[in-house]
Structure formats: structure tokens, C-alpha cells
Structure 1
Amino acid sequence: MAQTARTRTVLGPDEIGRALTRIAHEIVEANHGPDDLVLLGIPTRGVPLAQRLASRLTEITGEDFAARTGALDITMHRDDLRARPTLASQPTRIPAIGIDDRTVVLVDDVLYSGRTIRAALDALADLGRPRAVRLAVLVDRGHRELPIRADSVGKNLPSARSEHVSILLDEIDGEDAVVIEGGAA
């Protein structure tokens, strides 16, 4: 993505890769090993991030995390559904080992108000009863409206409300970058 006066790239492919490796190590350490871990990506960009984390967890632990990784559709649990009725849902895919009595790591790209994570917790409650739920995000930009915080963060990125933080991922956008757009000129 080209840099402009109102657009700046804050993380490139190498920094994103290092952040995901660090998050994977934090997940294993916090869980005291890989046992009973399940990763659920929140569409859209949380899903490929969860898959990348699964790959790193497999390298770190020797366990097959691809089989423990899925996706959690939160569309019907969003509190802005009336305002944005055209949101497309994506299928929930729960790993065959299930989520009951497991540590579920929700994976998302940006933590902002906390409302997406609240919707994810509601959706998860409809599917089963995990022993614990953790949150891993690539970017935490602040401005929380709900008492939610991430357990693992790739980059804390304080930003103005007038700015927009975009996560670009190769699987979706053809490149890896974290970009801030807008704000004061």
C-alpha cells in the first residue's frame, strides 16, 4: 500500500510474522502447554490469523493445531445488526475435538470497542462450555466501550477515534500490513 500524508504503514510482513510467533509462545506458556487448546478465528481476518497461529503452534509444540482450529461466526450476535443488515455471515467451523472443557483462544485482527468480542462470547456460549476463553489480537488500538482486554497482543497501537486501522493479510488482500488511515493532517 502506498504511503500518503494521511496513511502510514505501522507493521509490515516481517513485524506481523514476529508478532504472531510471540503470540503463539504466549498462548502455550499461559496454558502451561498445548493440551486442550482450540483456536477460533473471528471472520474475516481473524480466521487466517488463527490458521497462521496454528502453524506456529504446530512448529513450537509438535502437536497438529490445524485440526484444532476453526472459525466462529458472530453475525447474529452483533449489536449493530439492525444498523448494518447487509453483513454477510460466514459458517462457524468447530474443530472435531469440540470446545467443551477446553481452553478456547478467540483470534481477531483488531481490538477496538470490545463489541465484536462480546458478540463472540455470546456465540461461543451457544455452542458449548469451554473451561476458559482467551483472546489473541494482532492489534489493540484502545478506545474500549466494554470491559474486555486481550490476553495476547501483537502490537498496542494507540490511535485517534478519527483514524481507521486496517489489517491487510496476504490470504485476503494480497499483502501483509497494518495501516493507519485518516486523523489529523
Structure 2
Amino acid sequence: MQTPSTERKVLLHAKEVRRTMERLAYEVIERYGEDAPLALVGIQRRGVELAKRLKVVLEQRFGREIPLGSLDINLYRDDWTNRDSQPQIHKTWIPFDVDDREILLVDDVLFTGRTIRAALEAILDYGRPKRVELLVLVDRGHRELPIHADYIGKKVNTSLQEQVDVYVQEQDGEDVVFLSEQG
């Protein structure tokens, strides 16, 4: 579980997280036809859980299986040699051919764009997708790279001293998004 800060404000409570994920799923449904070669790839850790939730809604609507993968970007990070601690490596699992496939990359928070840059690099190690789009639960701004999300659950203007913490039921015991001062 992420370490909570002292001052926290709830950005999304459980019901709002659920409704936001449903809305995002329907935005994806509107953009893609039922026969699109769509696959979901969640970024470890919480992006994987959000991708699993999207998969359920999309499969119900499309009436077919939507491939799902998980991606650990830690070895692709451009700052891992500067970090005080060693990165915790999670599983990367892409059980489908990414060539000529529409990939929907899913993450919890979009901040500087460096995680997404690393994810794109990692995906390209598996092949050449037709297109990669990005879906995030929260976009907090402060991009350092020219990266944007195609689907955004909630856009929040933050300061660099603030952080956004996403908790998901599957890993943290509850669905909630907090905005807090870094401390």
C-alpha cells in the first residue's frame, strides 16, 4: 500500500471511481467498432486492476474476449539508476501478438509522462502495434514529455508539492483517490 501523507483530500470515492471507469469504458466502446483488434495492457500495479475492470465491460458489450496484458516498466525507466532504492519488479505478461493490434494502455495517474514513455518502449519490444492509445483514471498535469491521454477519468490541477494516490480494492482494500501534500 502506498504511504499516506498527513493532509489528504478525497478526489474520487468508491462510487465515483466505479462510475468513472464505466464512463471511460463507454468512451472506448464509442470509438472502436465491435470487430476492432483491440487489446488492453495495464501498467503495473494499479493500471492492471483498472484494465481488468475495463475488460469486463468491453467483453459484455462486444460479446467477445478482449485480450489483456500487464506491463512492468521499471527496467525501462530513465531514472532507475538515480533512485535511492532498487525498483520492485512485477510481472510483464503479454499473451497476444501486438503486431497490427489496437492497444489501449491503461494507468492510474498521468503525471510527467515518463512512465508512459517507458511503457511505449516496452510494448515496442513485443512488436509493432497498429495504434496505442492511453487511458488514465487521473491526469494531474506537469508533463515533461509530449504525451497525452486519449481517455481521462478526472483531470486535476495539482502543484508539484502535491501527489495523487490511487487505491484499488484488489490491492488496497478500497477504491479511493486522494490528493495530498508530499511530506
Decide: shared fold, TM above 0.5. yes
Shift of the 104–79 alpha-carbon distance from structure 1 to 2, 3 Å rule, reads same
Stretch of structure 1 that moved more, 35-44 or 54-63: 54-63
Give the partner amino acid of 1:94: I
On the 8 A contact 1:28/1:34 being kept in 2, the answer is no
What is the Cα-based RMSD across aligned positions, in Å?
A: 1.5
**1:111 and 1:171 mapped to 2: Cα distance?**
20
**1:35 and 1:138 mapped to 2: Cα distance?**
23
Deviation at residue 19 of structure 1 after TM alignment: 0.9
Q: Which residue of 1 aligns with 2:86?
A: 86
Q: Which residue of 2 aligns with 1:180?
A: 179
Task: Say if 2:156 is the partner of 1:152.
Answer: no
Give the partner amino acid of 2:154: K
On the 8 A contact 1:136/1:151 being kept in 2, the answer is yes
Q: Which residue of 1 aligns with 2:36?
A: 35
Deviation at residue 6 of structure 1 after TM alignment: 2.0
**1:90 and 1:115 mapped to 2: Cα distance?**
18
On the 8 A contact 1:34/1:63 being kept in 2, the answer is no
Shift of the 5–118 alpha-carbon distance from structure 1 to 2, 3 Å rule, reads closer
Equivalent residues, number: 177
**1:25 and 1:71 mapped to 2: Cα distance?**
22
Structure 2: give runs of 5+ residues left out of the alignment: none
On the 8 A contact 1:42/1:107 being kept in 2, the answer is yes
Secondary structure in structure 2 of the residue aligned to 1:82: helix
Stretch of structure 1 that moved more, 41-50 or 80-89: 80-89
Shift of the 160–34 alpha-carbon distance from structure 1 to 2, 3 Å rule, reads farther
Secondary structure in structure 2 of the residue aligned to 1:127: coil
Question: Which contiguous aligned blocks of 4+ residues in structure 1 show a shift greater than 6 angstroms?
Answer: none
**1:181 and 1:55 mapped to 2: Cα distance?**
31
Q: Which residue of 2 aligns with 1:107?
A: 106
Secondary structure in structure 2 of the residue aligned to 1:15: helix
**1:21 and 1:54 mapped to 2: Cα distance?**
11
On the 8 A contact 2:6/2:180 being kept in 1, the answer is no
Q: Percent identity?
A: 45
**1:82 and 1:122 mapped to 2: Cα distance?**
18
Secondary structure in structure 1 of the residue aligned to 2:144: coil
Task: Say if 2:26 is the partner of 1:21.
Answer: no
State the Cα deviation string for residues 54-104 of structure 1 (Å, max 9, x = none).
011112222222xx01101211110111022511121211133x2110000
**2:95 and 2:135 mapped to 1: Cα distance?**
18
Give the partner amino acid of 1:113: T
Give the partner amino acid of 1:47: V
Q: Which residue of 2 aligns with 1:51?
A: 52
Shift of the 94–83 alpha-carbon distance from structure 1 to 2, 3 Å rule, reads same
**1:58 and 1:45 mapped to 2: Cα distance?**
20
Structure 1: give runs of 5+ residues left out of the alignment: none
